[in-house]
Structure 1
Amino acid sequence: MTETDGERSVFTLTFDAGRAGPLAALDTRLLQDSPVAVNARVVLVLTFGALPAVLMDGIVTTVALTPGDRPGQATLTATGEDLSLLLDREERDVEHVGLDDPVQVLAVLAPYAARGLVPLVVPPPSADPPLPIERVPTQHDTDLGHLTMLAERHGYVAYVIPGPVPATSTFYWGPPVRVGVPQRAVSVDLGPETNVTAPPQFRIDALAPVTVEGMVQDPLTGRAVPVRSGPSLRPPLAARPLSVEYAAELRRRRLRQSGTGIVGAFARAQGQAERSGDAVVADGELDGARYGGVLRPRGLVGLRGAGWSHDGLWYVREVEHELSTGGYRQRFSLAREGHGSTVPVVPV
């Protein structure tokens, strides 16, 4: 199962579908009466000790049968996606008269409450309510496509969080979660306390940070006003951001937005710059048993043992969970804006 903050989370389940006994004389039983069928809703729960965690709440999209090369052997593979699939089935043309972006999000998500999808919307720092006599926000996409487009305007993310109890999920629309209590620490090169299966790889993407600038016409005065993104407004995770260290070499992008006011233009320029700010990435793999928990994306995690440049707090961008008999591995991708820890101690 793969969870990410940029795309829909997906899962794959593999079952033994071997034919045995008189009831399977004509066909494998998993194709006759299996609850894991196309369009079925599947909830995956993982329990560590006495604490259950909902790993996935999703919809099966593909079922594949692979016959074995010996009698009685076969496998059935079910692949699916999280509940945001429900929002991506129908393209619609809708006018959201007088609704600002966060209110549009609530209006779009309201019909999905009956399916156990609860909205969690964080208003952006700047508001630009549309006056009906000036402009009318319109939707020409699926509900998910529209919500994602609105999120990108502000440097926000839009995704489904499974749980906290089975058959319920939360649709989060807001900034990447870079505050709060970090998850259990990822430990590197610390002897018996090491919980990674191999040292993580740290890489720098010098092309990631950008500045955004352009011109926008004031709808009231008709004058052209220069627009430029400023320093990041996100809580810092690194002591030495690359966007500051290499400010002269940053890529510059033009703001190509029309039909909005000055406030909206500045918000979109800042949002585009914020989305590109994480220039340092760490990729690795955890031993689930030694880690003793479930690493979740879209939040913070501490990393220790890799040296001052890479120790500290990181944003968890993606986690791939692989569960098998007797084993649990978690491949992760972490990101932040630069080098150096901002905290003296990483919580264990």
Structure 2
Amino acid sequence: MSLLGVHMALSAGPTVPLPVPPDVAQRVRSVQVTESDSRPTVFSIVLDAGRSGPTAALDSPVLTTSPLRANARVVVELTMGVLPKVLVDGIVTETTLVPGGEGQRAELTLTGQDLSVLLNRTEVSDEHVALEDSLQVLAIAARYAQHGILPTVIPPPTMDPPLPMERTPTQQATDWRHISDLAQWHGYVCCMIPGPVRGMSSLYWGPAVRAGLPQPAISVDLGPATNVQGQVSFMTDVQRPENVEGQVQDARSGQTMPVRTVAPTRPPLSALPVWVEHQASLRSRQFRGTGISAAAAFARAQGVLDASVDAVTASGTLDGSAYGSVLRPRMLVGMRGAGWSADGLWYVQQVVHHISREAYTASFTLQREGSGALTPVVMV
């Protein structure tokens, strides 16, 4: 499927995804891919399921000869320029057939999610002897190397290695649920990042990436330079940030230690953070952890604060052709033309790609901790 300056490639197969045959590619009506920093990537592919020709006398070709079927591995790539970008590498988990009739064309819709589905199939009862959290993630990821999944694990700043004589970490959940829970304790994100080439994915377990080179800017109300469709909205939730207070009995010394958060550790993206402006009215959560060291308690409390500080959300829809690139989550992007309060750098929390033969658009959700640009200019 191709548009002016935009080309989409679709691959599928039982284990190794290969480019779909041309007759199948011609039947693709639309593709939607939802990428997020905190949830698995999900996708849907709508195909023309009409029957025509002698080979389709009994059933539609997309049901008999197409590699796009339940449990197939599917890769969607989008090219704007020279290099293709993998939007999703996942597994088809659901199919819906709507036969044609009364002026409506037959459709087959395939729905699936990224390779995290492989880690979420079987509940496991296991012990991770002497492995702190990041090492547990590496050990679990190693089981899925044959699927092209490579781990990118960032150890937390405060680690609490479990001594076998004191405690042994246990797992009573699927691999995906277990490592997601570990990430949440540290205020980390756990996600599958597809690519950089077809058949490869990275299991990222670490802090939200709020530094580095930003993506091309989203331009609002700038005449011919505008690259959004309609309006961009900005919402501030002063109830989102929360402090953590309480106490914990250190598992090693037996002493009771106070636990209290003071400030987030994430790099700031705004000049006026909500958690600073409304410090006196912030919500407070009681820390209730037990059986852990004081260091682990402080780390978990800090993770709660860090995950809650993004109180400002921006949402809108990009015109893909005008933007000229593929906006990705888990990275920074610039905003310009919306005024000082909303301009500057933002963290991309979610992108929904809408691809059809007529257009390519991307609905986005951006986050940061407050208002006011810290940078005078952004990359166009």
Q: Shared fold by TM > 0.5?
A: yes
SS across alignment from 1:124? coil
Which residue number in structure 1 is paired with residue 64 of structure 2?
Answer: 32
More displaced 10-residue stretch of structure 1: 137-146 or 61-70: 61-70
Letter in 2 for 1:186: I
Query: Which of the residues 12, 17, 20 maps onto 2:44?
Result: 12
Q: Residues of 2 paired with 1:220 and 1:187: CA distance?
A: 54
Note if 1:139 corresponds to 2:171: yes
Structure 1 residue 29, shift from structure 2 partner: 1.4
Note if 1:150 corresponds to 2:179: no
SS across alignment from 1:152? helix
Structure 1 residue 199, shift from structure 2 partner: 2.0
Which residue number in structure 2 is paired with residue 223 of structure 1?
Answer: 255
Letter in 1 for 2:188: Y
Task: Give deviations 1:121-154, integer Å, cap 9, x for gaps.
Answer: 0111111111111111111110000110110111
Structure 1 residue 210, shift from structure 2 partner: 0.1
Which residue number in structure 1 is paired with residue 27 of structure 2?
Answer: none
Structure 1 residue 326, shift from structure 2 partner: 2.3
Q: Residues of 1 paired with 2:103 and 2:54: CA distance?
A: 14
- Asked whether the equivalents of residues 19 and 72 of structure 1 are also in contact (C-alpha less than 8 Å), the reply is no
SS across alignment from 2:238? coil
Which residue number in structure 1 is paired with residue 191 of structure 2?
Answer: 159
Structure 1 residue 235, shift from structure 2 partner: 0.6
Which residue number in structure 2 is paired with residue 68 of structure 1?
Answer: 100
In structure 1, list runs of 5 or more residues that go unmatched.
Answer: none
- Structure 1 vs Structure 2 CA RMSD: 1.1
- TM-score, structure 2 as length reference: 0.90
Letter in 2 for 1:124: P
Equivalences for residues 107-186 of structure 1 within 5 A = 107-186=139-218
Letter in 2 for 1:143: D
Note if 1:279 corresponds to 2:311: yes
Which residue number in structure 2 is paired with residue 327 of structure 1?
Answer: 359
Letter in 1 for 2:307: R
Note if 1:209 corresponds to 2:241: yes
Task: Give deviations 1:220-260, integer Å, cap 9, x for gaps.
Answer: 33221110112111110011111011000000001121111
Equivalences for residues 280-319 of structure 1 within 5 A = 280-319=312-351
- Asked whether the equivalents of residues 18 and 72 of structure 1 are also in contact (C-alpha less than 8 Å), the reply is no
Structure 1 residue 72, shift from structure 2 partner: 9.3
Task: Give deviations 1:65-93, integer Å, cap 9, x for gaps.
Answer: 11111589311111110011110000101
Structure 1 residue 211, shift from structure 2 partner: 0.1
- Asked whether the equivalents of residues 248 and 288 of structure 2 are also in contact (C-alpha less than 8 Å), the reply is no
Count, aligned residues: 348
Structure 1 residue 23, shift from structure 2 partner: 1.1
Q: Residues of 2 paired with 1:319 and 1:260: CA distance?
A: 37
- Asked whether the equivalents of residues 249 and 291 of structure 2 are also in contact (C-alpha less than 8 Å), the reply is no
Query: Which of the residues 201, 204, 227 maps onto 1:195?
Result: 227
- Asked whether the equivalents of residues 250 and 291 of structure 2 are also in contact (C-alpha less than 8 Å), the reply is no
Structure 1 residue 21, shift from structure 2 partner: 1.2
- TM-score, structure 1 as length reference: 0.98
Note if 1:232 corresponds to 2:264: yes
Task: Give deviations 1:37-73, integer Å, cap 9, x for gaps.
Answer: 1110000011112221111100000111111115893
SS across alignment from 1:54? strand
Which residue number in structure 1 is paired with residue 293 of structure 2?
Answer: 261
Q: Residues of 1 paired with 2:289 and 2:230: CA distance?
A: 45
Q: Residues of 2 paired with 1:157 and 1:146: CA distance?
A: 13
- Asked whether the equivalents of residues 20 and 72 of structure 1 are also in contact (C-alpha less than 8 Å), the reply is no
Q: Residues of 2 paired with 1:219 and 1:14: CA distance?
A: 55
Structure 1 residue 219, shift from structure 2 partner: 2.5
SS across alignment from 2:95? strand
Which residue number in structure 1 is paired with residue 79 of structure 2?
Answer: 47
Task: Give deviations 1:18-37, integer Å, cap 9, x for gaps.
Answer: 01111111111111121011
Task: Give deviations 1:140-178, integer Å, cap 9, x for gaps.
Answer: 110000110110111000000010000000010000010
Note if 1:340 corresponds to 2:375: no
Query: Which of the residues 213, 219, 241 maps onto 2:273?
Result: 241
- Asked whether the equivalents of residues 310 and 341 of structure 1 are also in contact (C-alpha less than 8 Å), the reply is yes
SS across alignment from 2:298? helix
Percent identity over the alignment is 55
In structure 2, list runs of 5 or more residues that go unmatched.
Answer: 1-32
Distance 1:225 1:51, change over 3 A: same
SS across alignment from 2:190? strand
Task: Give deviations 1:277-303, integer Å, cap 9, x for gaps.
Answer: 100000100000000010000110000
